Structures are given as C-alpha cells and as structure tokens.
Structure 1
Amino acid sequence: MRKTLLFFMMLSAKLAFGQVFDDFSDGNFTSNPAWTGQTNAFRVNSSNQLQTSLSAVAQTVMLAVPSALATNAKWEFFVQLNFDPSTANQARIYLVADQQDLNGPLNGYFIQIGENGSADSYDLYRQAGTTVTKIIDGPAKSRADVNKLLARVKVTRTDEGLWELYTDISGGTNYNLEGSATDKVFLYGDWFGVSCRYTATRSEGFIFDDFKVDELVPDVSPPTLLSAKALDDKTIEAVFSERLMIGSALATGNYAITNLGSPALVKATALPNVYQLVYASALPTGNYTLTVNGVKDLKGNTIARANQASFIYVQPYEFQKGDILISEILVNPKKDGVDFIEIYNATNQLLDLKNLQLANADANGNPANVRNVSNVSLLMPAKTYWVLTTNPDVVKAQYQANFPAQFVKMASLPAFNNDKGTVILLSSLKMIDKLVYHEDMHLALLRNADGVSLERVSFAKPTDEAGNFKSAAASVGFATPTYRNSQEDDKQILANSVSLGSKTFSPDGDGFEDQLQIDYRFVNNGQLANVNIYSDKGILVRKLQRNTSIATSGNFIWDGTNDNGQRSKVGIYVVQFDTFALNGKRESFRRACVLATKLN
C-alpha cells in the first residue's frame, strides 16, 4: 500500500500526548512505537503491513501499544481478513483498554469483526472484566468475495461520551456511518491494540495497517481541580477534571493546604484523574482549602493559577452521653404526614452523624430496631438542630423549616407508637440519650394532638425529667423542625413583655409599615393567648388570636382589617394581649397604636 510522505512524517510524533501513528513503513513493530504482547505471532509483511504469522495450533494472539486517549478521540485503521470470518476466526481492535493483556479481564472498548455467516457487521462493544456488551450493532454487509474482508474503519468519541462508528468496505476513506451510541462507563485507558482469534488454517490471514489514534478536537483546555476531601487524618484526595502528566501530578510543590503547606508525598491511584496527598502530621478538625498550581494534562495544558477546593476534616471521635440530644419528636403526624425526630448538637464541635444510631425500645426497655442515621459521613455543626425522617419533603411542606438543608433522609425509622413509646440515640450501640414519651405530655387543652410535636424545654435538664417536653406552640405551626424550639427556655428573657414593632402603621400597600407587628416574650413556656383589637371607643374590631398556645417569644401580625375582612378606619386602636396558663395564672397587656394613611 502506498504511503504518503505526509503520513511518514507523522510517524515521528508517535505516542505524543497519548496519540498513536503507525503504518509500519519502518519495517517493524518493536520500536517507534513499541508494540508488546505475542510478538512472535506477528510480522511486518513485504507490503509493510502488520500480519499474523503461521501457526500450527488454534489460539488467540494480541499486540498492544500505550495509548491514553479515551474521550475526545478518533481512531482509524485498515483491516483485511483473507478468509470468511466466524466466531472462531475473528478480530478485535481494542480502542481503549486499562490492561496491556488484551486477552485477559479488562475495562475498555473494542471493535469486533467476525461472526458466523457470509455477511459480517462492524460492532462496538464495552468490556467490563470478562463481560462484554454490544453498544453499537452495525448492519450486516455482504461481500463480493466471501473469502476476503477488507475495510477501513473510523471511530470517534466526544467528551460527552457520544460514539460514532464509520466504515469504508472498499478500503478507502469514503466512510459510511454504521451506528452511534452514548456510553460513558469508562473514561480512561492505557492501551490500544489488536486481538486475533483463529484456527490453525486461518492463522496468517489477519492484516492491519495505518493505525492512527488522535484527538477529535485539539485540546487547549487546562485541567481543573474538581474536589478535595480527607480520607483520613493524613491523606487528602484530589480529583481533577482529566488525567494529568504523571511528573507534574506527583510533584509535591504543586499542592498546598491552608496552614499545612505542601504534602510529604503525592500518590497516584487506580483512577488516573485522582491523586492522594499524604501529610507527615495529622490534621486537626477544621475547614481547609487545597490550592493547586503547575500540574499539566497529557497535552501539556497547565492548570490555571490557584485552582482551589475546600473540604472539612473531623477527627475520629466517639460520642459521649449528652453530645447529641433529643430535641423534638413528631410520632403522631398529620394525615399523609410522616414521623420525625429532631436532634441537637450540644457540643462546640462538628460531629459526624455516620457514628449515630436511632432506636426504639423492646419490652424490657432495651434498644431495639436500631437504624444507622447515615451510611456516609454527614457533618453536624455545633449548636444546630437536625431532623431525621423518611421523607423530608413532606415535613417541609407541612411545617416551616428554617434550615431546609438540615434534614437526614433515612430509609426507615424504628416504629414509634402514637400514644407512648421510647426514642433512643446510640453511638457504637452505646446509649447517649433516651426519651420515654406518652400522649399525656401534650397540652391538655389540645382538641387533637395529630400533627403536634413534643418539644424539649431545656437542654440543661435531664431528657426524661417531668415537664421537659411540651406541645409545640400553635403560633409556630405546632412544630419547629431544624430550628429553636418554641417552648425552649430562654435565660435572656427576664420579664414578660408585649411590645409593638411601631406604634404607627399604614396598610396602604406601599411596602412601608403596612402591618402592625405585635412582639411578645415570656419567661415561662406553656402559655395560651387571646389577642384582640379594640377601637379607641372600646369597640371590638378584630379577634386576632383565640386560645392560641404561644412560644416563649414570637410575634403576631395585624394587617389592619376587621373580622369582616374590611380595612379599618384611620384612628387609634388598642391591642389587648391576655395570657393564661394551666395553673390559673393570668396576665394582661394593653398597647395603643395608630392606623394612619397618606395625606394628599
């Protein structure tokens, strides 16, 4: 076959950046580039083509050459089979392989030529270990000479994983599309090559030529640092957008972590875009930023300066009793609702919820039906409230969740009965908190406790102390998932008070003081309130709240309308705020305000 001067000149760049160019015009396959495998089973023939050698036995032989192109790649080659291919006499051209031995288990992709019958197709397969899956099934093609197959093949793959397979069965470059498919299972490889299975009589009938593996589109994009995470107290994993030149990837000076500097060692991993940074000293718990400079991809593109990724490391820690406390429970949900258990990090440090379990109790009061809160590391900041449930979306839809990211979706919760039961928190099966609950803990005046949570009053008192869990206030929607409990003690409140956000408001829709905000703060929880609005003549205008259980602090809003939904007249009004508790204690507050309007 004629070789053009241009193609010969291209041979000088063999294997550059993972590329392969070989037309065997140098008369060998052992250098420039060096193919490895069953070298005694191949030869370069008088036409400067790679051909299998005569064999007295049936076998499968292979040759491979290093090639790192697996995406944004184009493969071209010539193939000729001087016999009618079959399943016993077939060729595989491996475009991508992670192992040099193409006849053993590997991960990659290959073109297969050879099947029973006189009309063969050109098919693309994915191989995972020893399992092969066809991903492009080319149409069968008849041949004028049944005993000779000749074709030039081109395969392309984009960064997005789109494969396209083309052939010219005359051996030219007038390609026709055989098929396309998207597959991104394997994104990296180390080898390109051929594997020939034959019976003895077909042993020297395989011919290949004009191998070319190149970029589909010139790569001018530098690599980027995608993420960093701590694997243990001394090892950080850095993940890049693509494979790196090994020399730049393993240079310790190209990496620096805040307050730690460069690692003592950088190691490659089984994934060619992932590297491990090993430090001599253990990391303390904290937030870190990894900065990378100077690393290059296989094309030689250098990463932009100061590529960064942040991560958090938490030193291994065994929970102690009282570190995480039961804060709120909902075990009798609304219709179509779900149970939830709220927990509170009472410490001043990050805690990993992977070390926490949730349980109920058996007949003897011992932990039963234990569930892991999380199977992966899940960091809970100090002094935060997190909700454990099977369906966070339902909880968020039925209640206000001030911190929607502080939910843990569990596959299942232990069963918690509506009337009574036990909630237990464990760490390594050691009990760290326990609540025995019953429906009598709810506010006695509640008509229906469905959908009303029980909230913890004090984290300083024992969990099971009488009166330490009470019904969440109606004023907050009967539950406070992910934020401070409505009935929680507030030591900063020294006296009961009711105040107005502003003594004047004008509900005219101009966005300024359109509503009257009525703020309240009470030393003791468990209060109920009636809030009424009167005119300056003592006429009842609006019953704003009736026998409403309230939080220790909060507010109500009056929009200026009366009980008929009509806007009240301009003038002076009095807010009457009356509270009472189940012990009979009552208290009243009166605050005057002005409903105003603009003067034209």
Structure 2
Amino acid sequence: MTCAKPGCRSILICTFCILLLFINTTLAQQTNELIISEIMADPTPAKGLPEKEYLELYNRSGKALNLNQFVLGYNNSTVSFPDFIIQPKEYVIVTNRNNVSEFQAIGRTVGLSSFSLLNTGTTLTLKTNSNRTVFSVTYTSKWYSTGKTQGFSLEMIDTEFACVETGNWVSSEAVLQGTPGKENSVKASRPDLTPPVLQRYEYLNNQQIKLVFNEKLDSLSAVSQLAYTVDKSVQIKSIVTESPANTSVTLTFQSDLQTKTSYTLTARNVADCSGNVLKEASLQVGIVSEADSGDVVLNEILFNPGSGGEDFVEIYNRSNKFISLKNWALANADNTGTVGNIKPITLTNYVLMPGQFLVLTRNASVISSQYYKTIASHILEMESLPAFANEKGTVVLLNQLRKVLDRFDYSETMHHGLIDNKAGVSLEKSDYNLPSSLPSNWHSAAASDGYATPGYANSQYKSAAESNTFMIEPEVFTPDGDGSDDVAQLKFQLTQTGFVANLYVFDANGRMLKQLAQNQILGVNDQIVWDGKSYNNELAPVGYYIILAELFNTNGEKLEFKAKVVLGAKY
C-alpha cells in the first residue's frame, strides 16, 4: 500500500511521531532509572516550604517517562500515579493531591489520591504496573544529621549510586531545609567502591537459614547456585532474595542440619547493587539451642556517653552454642529487684555465635565513629534502650521468657579514681567467667582503646601473666615512613587491672626528650608507641634512648621499668 497524497503523508508522519513518543515514554523502566531523591517525612516546623509531606522523583534516564506506568508503595499501601510526563534529568515533586497548589510555584508537582510518610521511617518502592521493582529505599530517622531532624528533608547525596542507602542520605543543607523539584543541596560524588559484607545469619528452621549482608545485592549474583557452599556434604535446594531490600538471602537445604554441629558456609562472587564483588567470605552456622544461665553474660556498659554519643551494652556468649536472641530484652530493676522498662533486643532470629561479643545500642554509626576499633558487624541496633543514669543504675538481661539471665548494678564510683571526666568511658568486666554482681570485676576501659572496646575483647580482661613485664619491639626502629619498623612499641603485660602509666624518653646524656604518657590508664595487655619524635615534633637524632615507665594504682602499688631502644636509619 502506498500513500502519495500530501494529507495522507501528514497522517503517517503524525502517527509515527505518536508511536515514537509512546516508545520513548514506556520502554525506559530499567532499575534505578526513575528514583526517589528526596524525602520530607516530618515537615514541621517549616522554614519557607509548605508544611506538607512530599517526595521528589528524579528521572536518571535519557528518555521521557509517563508516571502512569508506576505504582508507589508506602507504609504497606500502594497508590498509582496519574498520567504525567517526567522529562530526562528532571526533578518532580510528589505529594497528596490536596497539596498540589502549594507546591506548584516551587516546581512541577504530581498529586496522588493517597499519600503519607512515617517520621520514624518506612520502605518506599517504585514498581511498574506489572509489579517489577524499579527503585526502593528504606529510610530511617537515624539518617538525619545531628540537630537537623524535624522540618528537614532527607536528600540523596550521589544519584549515580542510587541503590546505596546507608551513607548516601543526609539532612538537607538548604536554607529552606529542603530542595523540592531541584538539585539536592548535599549533592556530591560518593562512589560505592566497597564489596558487600556477609555480616551474620538468622536461623529459620532446621532446613533454612537467612544470610544477612550489609548492603543491597545484585539480585542475579545473589541467587546463583555457585555462590554458596556448605561443608559436611550439605546440599542447597533453593536460594531466594528478600525483595525489595535485597540485603538478605534465604537458603533452603536438601535435608535438616544436625544438632550440636557447626558448619562452615562460604559465599563466593556475590556482587552488590553497584557491581562490587565479594570474592569470598565464610561464616559458622548451626542449629540454635536454648541458653542456660551463665551462657550469655553482660560484659561492658557505656552509661555516660560523650558529647553526641550513645549508650551501649555489650553481651558475650560464653558457651559453644548458637543462641537465638529473638524476643530477648534489656531492662532496669528498682531497689526491690522488680524488673521494669523492658526493651526488646530483636524480633528476628538473630544468632549470637559461640564466643561472640555483641554490642546493643540505638545507633551503630555513632558508636563506630567515636570508638575507632569498633567491630561494626558485632553491633545490633535496638529501637530504644532502658534508661541508664550517669551516676548509677542497673542493666538486666532477659531471655524470651523474661527470665533474668544476668544483672549488673553499676555506679560511676566504680571508674578509676584518676579519671576526672568519665563521659565516654565504659566499664568493662575483667573476667566474664566471674559474676556481674562482683564490683571488683568491673574496671574502666583502657585509654589505648579509646576508653571502650565495643564488639571485641575487653582491654581489662584478666591477664594470664604470672609477673609484670615490660618490653620494647623492635629494639632498633627506623622512623623513615617506609612501613617497616617505623615506631617503637612499648608493651606491658600486667597481672592486674587499674595501673596508670607515666612514660618518658631520655637521651644518652640523661636529658628528657619527651613524655609519652601522663596518667594514662593501662589495660592488662597494653602498648604505647614512640614515633621517634621529640617535644617539638622533630625527629630525634640517630642513637640510643632510655624509656622510663612509672606505673601506680589507687592502692598505692608502684612499678618502675627501664629499657633501651635504638633509633636507627637506613643508608
């Protein structure tokens, strides 16, 4: 069939243009092409913006999109978008249709028939009409910057890595406390270059476990039959990711795991949503057992955090059992012993591994930022903690039946007597095999560990040393920055806790070159380093030096050590 008439040709051209527009506005539905880039969940008090909740959509693709192809999921509800074209690289405001007139002067706005956001956080999804997830984000109130919560929006920092959640969202820096319909005020390059971490597993039943990773996974690599193996001839029947979060994978085995047996699970070549690949990681897994009294104990508590800090309680699994913490709790107790202010630890089958230290706190990122040795994978966030007064109080550990497993009555007077500012200093148990009720079993954490040891062995854990020793390694050090023997390590091994150190460096003529420590609280196995520099921060001359260590405690005991170290140079 041909069309020679001008009118007919015009009709064909128009039809072609309509088809082209249809294609350009319907086929661009790849993952993370249309994203949510800003969330205003708590708009009160406002500072120039409408005092209404809103989201911001951003079209990352090079094609126009008709929003009528998408469904927004929020608070376990869904709502369809109306007919509305969002252009390539365009930002669009989303709000309740009753609020559209208030936002139109700010930017292009689409109204929804129903729409509400939770202040504390929820999962938001963008799905196609065929129920395929295009974008998801699970926001939380913990993402807000300090002092910028109510009235501030949460903005995505790097839209090029839109699938990244933790660390990629923060409070708006705009004067109006939000940037609806515009480029985000916090926009910056923050590429995700780190592979995912296999953090832990949750016990589901004797034939199923759930692996938990620290970030969103690539859904294809996460369900590969080659991605996971288990020793002792355990065969995997099926692998399923948990959508839309994609941070966990459920493994179903061909047969039941055996009781009182530890298995090694290995994950290989699992990629995150940004394409970074976890080459290999292993995890011990097993069937959970009931905890007996004394299996899990209180091990450390920070009840008086420093500025901007958070309380935490650390527990320790003394047994060889895999123990589920589901429905366990922390609580307080009054003078009569009555337990109250009960706060659940977790509602999931979180497994506490044999010999594992676990920190319980409200905000894991704060703990990690304030204590540099923190093991982040050994932190479990709770919605809230019991009240821990700065002067004195109680912490009680309860199992799922609300049986008291351990209790500690703490007081700030239990801290080392020479600590003037106790804020940010934890109390550690020196021997987790001794009762928590024994006051002499608790001591201030060592200064060398930053005054707390969240997620790992206590700095004041009871020493097996039979005598007090002091040594320097290496005996000859060369502080030239080549990464080999750049510092002298001054190592102490002490038979008891509570010692405080003063350390001095003297040259060969007996002149004091530098004081390395002044009233520094030591752990029972501790070290202080000398980088070869003097008081004026200049490198000392090549030669030998004398280290004098003076130790004392509040019981009046004194120790003194002297040792020689050589500061050398490579020629």
Q: Same fold (TM over 0.5)?
A: yes
Distance 2:553 2:543 in 1: 33
Q: Which of 554, 574, 585 does residue 526 from structure 2 map onto?
A: 554
Q: Which of 538, 541, 553 does residue 569 from structure 1 map onto?
A: 541
Corresponding residue number in structure 2 for 1:287: 263
Corresponding residue number in structure 2 for 1:28: none
Matches within 5 A, 1:353-432: 353-428=325-400, 429-432=402-405
Q: 1:237 to 1:562 in 2, by over 3 A?
A: closer
Distance 2:451 2:352 in 1: 25
Distance 1:228 1:575 in 2: 48
Q: 1:136 to 1:446 in 2, by over 3 A?
A: same
SS in 2 for 1:424: strand
Contact 1:361 1:422 in 2 (8 A): yes
Corresponding residue number in structure 2 for 1:531: 503
Q: Which of 432, 441, 453 does residue 468 from structure 1 map onto?
A: 441
Q: Which of 174, 183, 186 does residue 127 from structure 2 map onto?
A: 183
Distance 1:416 1:374 in 2: 19
Contact 1:345 1:382 in 2 (8 A): yes
Distance 1:550 1:452 in 2: 13
Letter in 2 for 1:460: N
Contact 1:314 1:351 in 2 (8 A): no
Deviation at 1:236, TM superposition (A): 6.9
Q: Which of 577, 588, 592 does residue 564 from structure 2 map onto?
A: 592
Q: 1:508 to 1:127 in 2, by over 3 A?
A: closer
Distance 1:363 1:567 in 2: 58
1:151-196 Cα distance to aligned partner (Å, 9 max, x none): xxxxxxxxxxxxxxxxxxxxxxxxxxxxxx96247548xxxxxxxx
Matches within 5 A, 1:28-427: 133-135=79-81, 137=83, 183-184=127-128, 187=131, 231-234=204-207, 259=232, 283-284=258-259, 285-287=261-263, 314-427=286-399
Distance 2:239 2:358 in 1: 37
1:104-131 Cα distance to aligned partner (Å, 9 max, x none): xxxxxxxxxxxxxxxxx99768699xx9
Higher relative contact order at CA 8 Å, sep ≥6: structure 1 or structure 2? 1
Corresponding residue number in structure 2 for 1:494: 466
Letter in 2 for 1:399: Y
1:265-322 Cα distance to aligned partner (Å, 9 max, x none): 9999xx9xx999686656435436699xxxxxxxxxxxxxxxx999875434322111
1:125-159 Cα distance to aligned partner (Å, 9 max, x none): 8699xx984435279xxxxxxxxxxxxxxxxxxxx
Q: 1:436 to 1:290 in 2, by over 3 A?
A: closer
Q: 1:186 to 1:502 in 2, by over 3 A?
A: same
Gaps of 5+ in 2: 1-28, 31-65, 86-124, 133-199, 212-216, 244-248, 268-279
Deviation at 1:418, TM superposition (A): 0.8
Q: 1:365 to 1:512 in 2, by over 3 A?
A: same
Letter in 2 for 1:374: T
Corresponding residue number in structure 2 for 1:77: none
Q: 1:583 to 1:363 in 2, by over 3 A?
A: closer
Corresponding residue number in structure 1 for 2:172: none
Letter in 2 for 1:449: K
Q: 1:309 to 1:534 in 2, by over 3 A?
A: closer
Deviation at 1:363, TM superposition (A): 4.1
Whether 2:423 is the aligned partner of 1:447: answer no
Contact 1:123 1:137 in 2 (8 A): yes
Distance 2:250 2:380 in 1: 30
SS in 1 for 2:205: coil
Deviation at 1:231, TM superposition (A): 3.5
Distance 2:421 2:304 in 1: 10
SS in 1 for 2:263: strand
Corresponding residue number in structure 2 for 1:150: none
Deviation at 1:508, TM superposition (A): 2.6
Distance 1:316 1:309 in 2: 21
Q: 1:594 to 1:422 in 2, by over 3 A?
A: same
Letter in 1 for 2:127: D
Contact 2:201 2:285 in 1 (8 A): no
How many residues get paired?
372
Corresponding residue number in structure 1 for 2:9: none
Distance 2:282 2:430 in 1: 37
Q: 1:282 to 1:590 in 2, by over 3 A?
A: closer
Distance 1:122 1:473 in 2: 58
Percent of aligned pairs with the same residue?
31
Contact 1:357 1:425 in 2 (8 A): yes
1:498-529 Cα distance to aligned partner (Å, 9 max, x none): 11111212223333322211111111111011
Letter in 2 for 1:137: D
The higher radius of gyration belongs to 1
Contact 1:324 1:432 in 2 (8 A): yes
Gaps of 5+ in 1: 1-70, 73-120, 140-180, 189-226, 243-248, 250-254, 292-307
1:421-470 Cα distance to aligned partner (Å, 9 max, x none): 11100102001010011111011111121111111011221111131111
Stretch deviating more after TM superposition (580-589 or 348-357): 348-357
Q: 1:337 to 1:535 in 2, by over 3 A?
A: same
SS in 2 for 1:455: strand
Distance 2:380 2:520 in 1: 31
Distance 2:281 2:549 in 1: 53
Distance 1:228 1:456 in 2: 27
SS in 2 for 1:183: strand
Q: 1:597 to 1:332 in 2, by over 3 A?
A: same
TM-score (normalised: structure 2): 0.57
Deviation at 1:401, TM superposition (A): 2.8
1:304-351 Cα distance to aligned partner (Å, 9 max, x none): xxxx99987543432211111111111011111111111111112222
Distance 1:564 1:266 in 2: 64
Deviation at 1:402, TM superposition (A): 4.0
Distance 2:296 2:266 in 1: 31
Corresponding residue number in structure 2 for 1:517: 489
SS in 2 for 1:447: coil
Distance 2:511 2:461 in 1: 36
SS in 2 for 1:562: coil
Distance 1:528 1:124 in 2: 68
